[in-house]
Structure 1
Amino acid sequence: MAHAETIDLAGSCACGGVTFQIEASEIRPVLECHCHTCRKTSGHVWAAFAVHRHDLTFTCDDTLRWFDSSTIARRGFCSNCGSSLFYEKFDHDQISVAAGVLNAPTGLICAGAICTDEAGDYYALAPGLTTVADATLRAEWALA
């Protein structure tokens, strides 16, 4: 029986108060989110990949704080340096992780953009990127 390749990644906030490791057999590619809330919490476009929650292990979470950003999800950030790190829906078993907080090399690719109807007026969407106007994710972007 063939085994899926395991993907090992590690990352942290800017100050090191939050560090984590990921060991997963499945990762959703990076998606850009252009919604108003993601732009407010990240300072620009939120670019994140997703893994099953059990595939992420915190090696240090001393400064990790969460806030409910809506009725359906919460966001994780470092209370010391302010790094925006995670997005987690309340009724999901997966967690989105900011792609920029990973240690290189990541091997990840950006597969598309969502909520493009809410994109800021100060930038253009990347040409050739698959886009979805609202937050509906296409089946190929969902984890099993």
Structure 2
Amino acid sequence: MHGSCLCGAVQLEIQEPLEHSPEACHCSQCRKHTGNFWTGINVRRTALQVRGAESVRWYQSSEKIQRGSCSICGSTLFWNPTIEDYKWTAVAMGCIDTPLNLKISKHTFVDDKGGYYEIADDAPQSQGF
């Protein structure tokens, strides 16, 4: 699977098979980072190759989470826990170029969602992870 930021400075290659389904987070931090709710897929770090990593700007958004964006075009790319021995990085679904037949499997932090949209699918919803 391949992906990139808007300007192409950061390019991703993800080795398949994927082990998780996409999840949507509606917390205020994800909404501020993406401009809407975040939809990402957890990818094993050993299965993720990033070309142009020098263009990724990391922001430590909480004690255990950093968020990655392209420093040139601003594209949201990653949600990356900094927990020791954690093996996953969430990749933004919007930056994946390979066509995928996947659906959101879960909505988190739904009480914090923006009032300007409704969650209209049948995926499970929770107040946390």
Q: TM-score, normalised by structure 2?
A: 0.92
Aligned to 1:30: 22
Structure-2 separation of matches of 1:110 and 1:30: 5
| One-letter amino acid of the structure 1 residue matched with residue 27 of structure 2 | C
Q: Does 1:75 align with 2:67?
A: yes
Asked if 2 retains the 8 angstrom alpha-carbon contact of 1:114 and 1:131, the reply is: yes
Residues 41-64 of structure 1: CA deviation (Å, up to 9, x unaligned): 000010001111111001222411
Of 96-105 and 32-41, deviating more is 96-105
Deviation for aligned residue 1:113: 0.5
- Give aligned-pair identity as a percent: 32
Q: TM-score, normalised by structure 1?
A: 0.83
1:1-144 map, 5 Å? 9-91=1-83, 92-134=86-128, 136=129
Compare the two structures and name the one with the higher strand fraction. 1
Structure-1 separation of matches of 2:100 and 2:53: 22
Asked if 2 retains the 8 angstrom alpha-carbon contact of 1:17 and 1:62, the reply is: no
Structure number with greater Rg is 1
Where relative contact order (Cα < 8 A, 6+ residues apart) is larger, the structure is 2
Unaligned runs of 5+ in 2: none
Unaligned runs of 5+ in 1: 1-8, 137-144
Of 20-29 and 10-19, deviating more is 20-29
Structure-1 separation of matches of 2:17 and 2:116: 38
Q: For this pair of structures, how many residues does the alignment match?
A: 127
Asked if 2 retains the 8 angstrom alpha-carbon contact of 1:50 and 1:95, the reply is: yes
Query: Could you say if the C-alpha distance between residues 62 and 29 of structure 1 is closer, same or farther in structure 2, counting changes exceeding 3 Å?
Result: same
Post-superposition, which runs of at least 4 consecutive aligned residues in structure 1 deviate over 3 A?
A: none
